[in-house]
Structure 1
Amino acid sequence: MKATRNIGMLVALISSVSMLAGCSAPILASQGAPVQAPSSGAIDEYFSNWPAEADPALVGRRIANNFVARNFDFQINSFHRWIIYPEVCAWYGALQVAELSKDQALKEQLIGKFDQFLTPEGARRLSPRAHVDYRITGVVPLEIYLLNGEQTYLEIGRDYADKQWATTTPDGITTEARYWADDLYMLPVLQVQAYRATKDPKYLDRVAMTMVAYLDKLQQPSGLFLHSPDSPFYWGRGNGWVAAGMAEVLSVLPPEHPNYARIMQSYKLMMAGLLKYQNPEGLWLQLIEQPDFWPETSGSAMFAFAMVEGVKRGWLDAKTYGPAARKAWLGLVKYVDSAGNIKEVVVGTNKASNEVGPDLEVQKKFYYDRPRKTGDLHGQSPMLWTAAALLR
């Protein structure tokens, strides 16, 4: 089904569902700003000559094809009514891998996966909730628009981004902000993506202001981030969301923007902090600085993505961070099985205070005891982002 559907009817339908739910609507991103690359020799030294099993195009396509073959969670899990954010994050990365690896058939399959949502019935599977985990849905249609220029996708994605800012706090930040580390990907990537699609600077101003507010609340002198003020632990994937979100923002934010220097400073401080905790196989732990915890792949892949972007765009010293990024990728691909599923991914994780209360020892045990899965999209997604960054 092509994107020549009635745009007005579709957007109106999504809006009417939003009003019935008493909420707003959905969210996400693609790479855009010119790369301020270091010398090609530095890039070649660290990001080429891969062993066959670690070739980013092959690994990326294997994981992307794994995503194409999956049903949506709402099709197999009655608990979910709508597209969920891990699906959006994986879809976003898979679209980039397909484009960058010039796999036209894969790209068409990934775009075609959105066809069902271009019907009035299918549009009801696009969440109307005013919540960061659902707004992010808009990232995928915006990415498709960036690939094929069809206006239907722009209308759907931009609608999500604008509704996210329909209600703000007195300082101008969306009322969807929770001040969890996770939000520093969920909120920025939608607004960044809307900027990439429209070039309207209001999206950059929103995201930069929000990011600085979060940096002030959550970043510690070590460069790492608390999961939240009342769950004061350096959770791996929580920090991974931040690292990936800052890389997305810095990829489009012009250096002359008033908040650029602050965000870049925080990004570099975080990358320096992470270097201290990378383990011998190239990964990071479930609680980053706790040596008795276990290596966790989703956060590690997010850190790999942020470092690859930093080296390629000239934000980070290639001789320092190039080896760390390469080591991370080589370590991670060892966890990918023949079906394109990555192992040792911690399941979706609420902040500990919400689950077990204020006792910090009990909270720490909560993070340690979180189950691990193979093929969980929280881990599939950043592997796709990193493969795309290596191909870019």
Structure 2
Amino acid sequence: MTVRPPLDTARILAAEYGQQLDPVNYIVGVAISGRLRLHAALPSTPNPAPSIVQAVDPLVTPDNLAQVLDADGSVQSGFVWAGELSAATGDDRYADFLIGIANRYLDLRPDGLPHPIDPDNRVEEVFFAGALLGRAFQRTADPRYANALAAILGRVHAQPGSGLWWHCGASPFYWGRGNAFAALGFAEALSYLPAGAAGRDALLAEHTAHLDALIRHQHPSGAWHQVVDRPDSYLELTATAMIGYALARGIARGWLPADSGANYRPAVDRAWAAVNERIDDAGMVRDACVGTGPLPTLDDYLQRPAATGHDDRAGSMALWFALECAALDTRS
């Protein structure tokens, strides 16, 4: 199969995903962000901002903010597009709404953790915190957001020896998308924390070691497995797109070396080939692990179903990855 240029795939995915913020969660929010990023990268494409405004305006209210603050990070990070929509429209309400969400992470429970954070260290929250607090810091330059982000990510780590991440303490398994959440979350954080920020160097070292461990497990086709260290598990789309995004962004933004001897750029190219292969010309996907909370046994992860057809999670993450590949190609 011919490998489609990333922007061609991005156009296909943007036409299929992120048309409504329903349900409100990161899965749909990432696709809305991707639609805005596509137009910013390629102004000749239709401007999605008016239709996005129509879809999200009923949700950007004080009453809904109160509800979102009581929800978990998967709902709260459904607003990752907010700063991009403010930039596209000149309307600060969207970015201000996201800052209101990020403020919840400044409010600590008696155990010292921010209210949205699960004390069992669910790896999804690395992405939720990185995405929300990073964007709030970018918007405000308020060091409270940067400090909170560095503290949250600085207290969680990959497993010694393997260099990989458990899903959480109760599920000590190297789930593919779980490791992808860690890679994606650190990449988001590093995108917004400036050089010299407290804790940034330690986060970069943790992130780079994790990516090195992941590359050792990358299948020759470019994909990662449903369970990273189990080559008998299926090759999975969402993990591949999310890890590929983290690698591509790191190279494009300069915190990962671009030379082929460092292995990062070849890993991106292989990952893109694997993702491209799993998306058809209508934006339908295959090999996308369905929604997965912490599971009690390794076999539960190995047997987790893979979606085929329209899948918001896979479509949104592949859209972000496609755009990051295009940005990397432009900067190379």
* Identity fraction in percent: 26
User: Are 1:261 and 2:201 counterparts?
Assistant: yes
Deviation (angstroms), 1:52: 7.2
- Aligned length, in residue pairs: 320
Q: Distance in 1 between matches of 2:54 and 2:231?
A: 45
Q: Distance in 2 between matches of 1:258 and 1:128?
A: 27
User: Are 1:244 and 2:184 counterparts?
Assistant: yes
Q: Indicate how the Cα distance of structure 1 residues 68 and 244 shifts in structure 2: closer, same or farther if over 3 A, else same.
A: closer
Aligned to 2:29, which of 88, 95, 102? 88
**AA paired with 1:63?**
L
In 1, are the aligned partners of 2:65 and 2:100 still within 8 Å (CA)?
A: no
Alignment of 1:55-66 (within 5 A): 55-66=5-16
Q: Indicate how the Cα distance of structure 1 residues 231 and 119 shifts in structure 2: closer, same or farther if over 3 A, else same.
A: closer
User: Are 1:154 and 2:95 counterparts?
Assistant: yes
Q: Indicate how the Cα distance of structure 1 residues 170 and 126 shifts in structure 2: closer, same or farther if over 3 A, else same.
A: closer
In 1, are the aligned partners of 2:147 and 2:198 still within 8 Å (CA)?
A: no
Deviation (angstroms), 1:163: 2.5
Q: Which residue of 2 aligns with 1:388?
A: 323
Partner of 1:247, secondary structure, is helix
Deviation (angstroms), 1:256: 1.2
- Post-superposition Cα deviations, 1:194-246, rounded to whole Å, max 9, x if no partner, equal 1122222211111111001112xx44333211111221111000010110111
Q: Distance in 1 between matches of 2:25 and 2:300?
A: 24
Deviation (angstroms), 1:167: 3.4
- Post-superposition Cα deviations, 1:339-370, rounded to whole Å, max 9, x if no partner, equal 112211111111113xxxxxxxxx11100111
Q: Which residue of 2 aligns with 1:307?
A: 247
Q: Provide TM-score, normalisation by structure 2.
A: 0.89
Q: Provide TM-score, normalisation by structure 1.
A: 0.76
Q: Which residue of 1 aligns with 2:289?
A: 346
RMSD of aligned Cα (Å):
2.3
Q: Distance in 1 between matches of 2:298 and 2:282?
A: 33
In 2, are the aligned partners of 1:243 and 1:267 still within 8 Å (CA)?
A: yes
Deviation (angstroms), 1:125: 11
| Structure 1: 5+ residue stretches without partners | 1-50, 75-82, 354-362
Q: Distance in 1 between matches of 2:298 and 2:18?
A: 36
Partner of 1:114, secondary structure, is helix
| Structure 2: 5+ residue stretches without partners | 328-332
Q: Which residue of 2 aligns with 1:376?
A: 311
Q: Distance in 1 between matches of 2:161 and 2:115?
A: 27
Largest Rg, 1 or 2: 1
Alignment of 1:64-213 (within 5 A): 64-69=14-19, 72-74=21-23, 83-102=24-43, 103-118=45-60, 123=64, 127-171=68-112, 173-178=113-118, 179-213=121-155
Aligned to 1:329, which of 272, 282, 301? 272
Q: Indicate how the Cα distance of structure 1 residues 54 and 107 shifts in structure 2: closer, same or farther if over 3 A, else same.
A: farther
- Post-superposition Cα deviations, 1:237-264, rounded to whole Å, max 9, x if no partner, equal 0010110111111112122122111111
Q: Distance in 2 between matches of 1:227 and 1:252?
A: 25
Q: Indicate how the Cα distance of structure 1 residues 338 and 126 shifts in structure 2: closer, same or farther if over 3 A, else same.
A: farther
Q: Which residue of 2 aligns with 1:271?
A: 211
**AA paired with 2:300?**
F
Partner of 1:345, secondary structure, is strand
**AA paired with 2:73?**
V
